Amino acid sequence: MPLNIWFVPGNSSHVGKFRVRMDALKDRGDDVRLLDVDAAHPGALAARLQILATGYAAESLSASGYDPDAHWIRQSMQRGQIEHAFSTVLDRVRADALILGYDSSVSGRAFVRVAPGRGVSTVLISDGLVVPPNPRFRRTAWESSRDAVAEIIQRWLRAEGPRGLGGVAAIDRTVARGAVGREDA
């Protein structure tokens, strides 16, 4: 039985990175589509043009009053709006699985949090290189304190954080590419 699989690109580069997997799943007989979530991201990350260029069917997330250009603290306060918009889309598309390229922003974490409640499996294909901190880089005491406080607030608000560690136990699978990715997965 074919699966209804939706790819959720967080930026334009994800579309190209997803394409090989999308084609393979389509060739296998699965129903493969794209979810345009540009309404949840700053304009610089827009993927709509690349989504349309693929020729795959797509749905768009509604704007919902969530401000993708706001500071992460304000976005955290708007989490309910983006979660509601995403829930509405998931109810409409009836996905079996979501393939995400990120889970480290307020919106990315909202998507990962909502999907399991709708019975949708999630897979994270981590985007980008994750490197350990540079031990030679020295921050001032003020910078270290500021960053520590920000990290505590981000965790409390479930706002931001390292990729693959979306702050929720909802990612069913993480796909790693290369040795560095395997260490983080």
Residue 26 pLDDT greater than 90, yes or no: yes
Please check whether residue 76 lies inside any domain of the structure: yes
Please check whether residue 107 lies inside any domain of the structure: yes
Residue 120 belongs to a domain with what CATH number? 3.40.50.2000
Please check whether residue 151 lies inside any domain of the structure: yes
Q: What confidence tens digit (pLDDT) does each residue in 153-165 have?
A: 777 766 655 545 4
Residue 178 pLDDT greater than 60, yes or no: no
Q: What is the largest CA-CA distance in the chain?
A: 58
What pLDDT is recorded for position 169?
A: 42
Give the pLDDT band of residue 129 (cuts 50, 70, 90).
low
Please check whether residue 185 lies inside any domain of the structure: no
Residue 40 pLDDT greater than 80, yes or no: yes
What pLDDT is recorded for position 152?
A: 79
Domain containing residue 139: 4-179
**Mean of pLDDT over the chain:** 81
Q: Is the pTM of this model over 0.85?
A: no
What pLDDT is recorded for position 7?
A: 95
Please check whether residue 184 lies inside any domain of the structure: no
Compute the distance between CA of residue 9 and CA of residue 12 in angstroms, rounded to an integer.
Answer: 7
Please indicate whether residue 33 or residue 112 has the higher confidence score (pLDDT): 33
The arithmetic mean of pLDDT across residues 27-42, rounded, is 93
Please indicate whether residue 147 or residue 50 has the higher confidence score (pLDDT): 50
The arithmetic mean of pLDDT across residues 152-177, rounded, is 56
Of 130, 132, 129, 114, the residue nearest 171 (C-alpha): 114
Give the pLDDT band of residue 181 (cuts 50, 70, 90).
very low
Of 113, 101, 148, the residue nearest 6 (C-alpha): 101
C-alpha 76: how far from its chain's center? 15
What pLDDT is recorded for position 100?
A: 87
Please check whether residue 97 lies inside any domain of the structure: yes
What is the number of structural domains in the chain?
1
Residue 27 pLDDT greater than 90, yes or no: yes
Q: What token pair was written down for 70?
A: 């706001």
Contact 125, 103 (CB under 8 A): no
